Every structure is written in C-alpha cells, then in structure tokens.
Structure 1
Amino acid sequence: MLKRKPSLTDQARAYIKQCILNDEFEDGRIPAEMELAERLGVSRTTIRDALARLEQESVIYRKQGAGTFVNKAGLQIQTRLEAMWGYETVLEDHGYTAATRVLAVQTIPADEKMAADLELAPGAEVLRVKKLFLADDEPVILAYNHIPAALLPAPPGPGAFMQPIYRFMWEHCRQHLTHYLSEIVPAVASVEVAEALHLRVERPLISFHETGFNDDAQPILKAYSYFRDDLLRFRLIRREVV
C-alpha cells in the first residue's frame, strides 16, 4: 500500500506544532497567518487550515481581539480519543518502543450480539485475530478483532495480521475503515486477559468495545481492547457547551 504524501496543510500543521513543542513562540503567542505563510512559502489559506486543525486538537486557542496562543493543557494529550490510530502509534506517542505479537487467529461463529452489531446472520463465520501490543517489552494492550469471513476473498498470508487493522482491512478485504462507534467500558481481567497482560485475575481494567464502519456506513469490524492503565493513560479536554 502506497503511503500518501502529507498535504501542505499537514506539513504546515506539523511544522507549527514542532515550533510549539520547541517553545519557539515568544510568550506562547502564535505568529500572524501572513508571517507563517511567508516563512513556509505557502498560502494564508493553508496556514488558516493548519491552525484550525491545531485548535480542534486543543493545541492552540484563539482569544478575541488578542490573538492565537499555545494551550499548555492540550500539549499533555498524546492520543486523541476521537481520532483513529494504530496501537503501535499510540505507544510510540507515549514514548515507548512498540512491538506487536499475533497470539491467535481462528474462525468462529458470531454470537447473537456480534452478529447484530455486524449485521450478520447469527452463527455466521467471523475471523478472530488476537493481538498483543508491547511497550518497551511490557504487555500493555490486548486486542481482539473480529472480521466477517465473507469479506476475505482469500486466506491472508502469515505476516498479514501484523499490520494495523485499517491497513489489513484495505489490503485484504478491500474495505476502507473510516470510523468507529466506540464505548469505553469498565472491565475486570478474565483469566485469559490477565495471563496475556501479566495481571492478577479480576483486576479492574479499561476496555474499548468498538464497531468499525466503511465508507457506506456498513459495519465491517468488531473489536474489543483491554488496557493496562499503569503503563498507558488517555486524557481529553472537556469544553463548556455554548
């Protein structure tokens, strides 16, 4: 799969964010759009779009009549909960060396709830992929991905399951995973989860229960992920409703 070249807006956003991280803007004030545009050799529209993305990410904020400033609280967020990301990227963003292990791949019948979530007939076959993600060689995330078997025209090769799930869905199912419906669910570690994550049985955990959808808003993936909160924390910024 070819890697898409970052757009000018993406490049401008990355440049401005790096300047922020390097504390290059005096008093935390973002330079004017025209100054940034001239510095980078791009249009003001490109800079405006880049700043809009950074504002959406809570990295900067605008103050009426005063200008645009760095939001220090926003810089503490390594992973945005509303964004789609691969778990390897999440761990690297937290400063870890990430690694992935595929623990098991098997075809199973969908139970009633999974079949309903994936709009399948009860008992329809799904491919279940169990993966472990490590941070500096410590197990930190256990993920179960369930893919309708009907989406797989041919059995994937042994190395295919090492890929991030969005890439696997495109390369092997020709499905563009565009968004998730996600629930954050308190859980306790089962024997299987505890063994994989090196935890005691029934230890409290945070889990994600997610249904992934394609361009046509059709469900194509059911995923369950379990996290060690002693090694990985998620933060978000909550805003006043206006």
Structure 2
Amino acid sequence: MNSYDFENRVAIVTGGGQGIGLAVAERMLASGASVSVWDRDQALLDALAGKSDRLQTVNVDIGDLASVENGVAAVKDRFGKIDVLVNNAAIVGPNANTWEYPPQAFMDVVHIGLVGMFFCCRAVVPHMIAQNYGRIVNLSSVAGKEGNPKAPAYSSTKAAVLALTKSLGKELAAYDIAVNAVTPAVAKTTMALSQEPEFLKMILSKIPRNRMLELTEAASMICFLASAENSFTTGATFDLSGGRATY
C-alpha cells in the first residue's frame, strides 16, 4: 500500500462514518493526518470514538449551512487549521423513471449532494486561501458522466458536482489549492447495496472489470489527490469506473 505524507495536515471527511468516507479517513489517519469525520448519523460517529487521538467526530448535516459552519468552527478549535476537504456525503434517492420521480425526493438528493457540497466549500475555502494551501476532493460518480436510468436526481447531482469542481478549481488556481473530482462506479457501500437488486444488477453489468469498486481502491486515489504531491492538477475528473467510462 502506498503511503502519502499527511503529517501535520488536518482533513475533514464528510459522510465519513462509513463506506468510502471511512476508508479515506482511516487511510489518512494511518498516514499521519488529523481527521475530522462529519456525519449526521450519531451511531456511526459513536462507533469511532477512541480510535485515535487525532480523530475528531462531529455531527454535521451538510444540508444545513449553520451546521456546516459550526462544524468548521469545531475543527478550527480542535486542530487550528484545515488543509483537506473530502466532500463525500450524499444520498441516492429512490429508483424511478424521471416522469414518475417523487419531487421531494429529487429535491432532497440535490440539496444534500450538491447544495450541501457547496455549503462545505463555501465555509472551508476562505481558511485555505488565508494559508495559501488546500486540497479539495469532490465525490461525483460515473452516473454523473453517463447518467443511470431510473436515477435522474442522483445522476443530475453528480454531473453538477463535476461542474462545481471545474469552476472552483479555476477560481483557486492562483493559490496552492487543488480541487478535483473522482467518479466511482458502484462500490461496496451500504448505500449502494441498499439499491433494488435489479438496478444493482444493471449497473454492475456495465463495468468491464465485472466487479464492484473496493473501498481501499477509492481511498488510494482520493488520498493522492488530497496530498501535497498533487500540486499541479486542478479542476479535473479522475475515473474510478472500472472501464465503464474511459474519458
């Protein structure tokens, strides 16, 4: 396993109580970082208690700007700075055709996955600008590149994440702040495995690797993008689709 230098770095990982977010948090802790795991599920946060003296857990609903701002204040109070933001938190929503999709569910998916990510960037970026250093990694999806049938809210949200990444990356290019996105195919997460069996079978059939993405594989790429070594690339999209989308 490659190791990246996160000594004296402070990272926020949203939705870090499980899945890809937790894998990233664990990899960063093992590489010397101090990590603040944000999640709105207190039971998941409680399960992490005592794992490391460099681990902070904060109950944050990223869809609530005040909650995000309170989370940022908690990180600053504990660690004094913020070097890395991994925007991982999202919800999937139900599976339904666009013309039958529940309007409230559509708004919920977009609000958490896009507006919530905007709130996190808005709250954290000024601290990165002040120190002229930062790394932001936004979790999009192969659905944001290709669109998944019966997932219009999730697909739309993840496509918008790519545009947000490009916009913010260009805005911050004059600083030592990199903003990049990753586009995973379906990974072995609780959220993915909760999908309807037929839907899961359909999206798995599109992956030439013929398997799900491993959480450790996602964490490896994300940690590189979040490291100081990623000093030039910004506003870019990195594929994690197992060959499904080769662009």
TM range (shorter): under 0.3
Q: Which has the higher helix share?
A: 2
Greater Rg by CA: 1
- In the superposition, the TM-score normalised over structure 1's length comes to 0.28
- In the superposition, the TM-score normalised over structure 2's length comes to 0.27
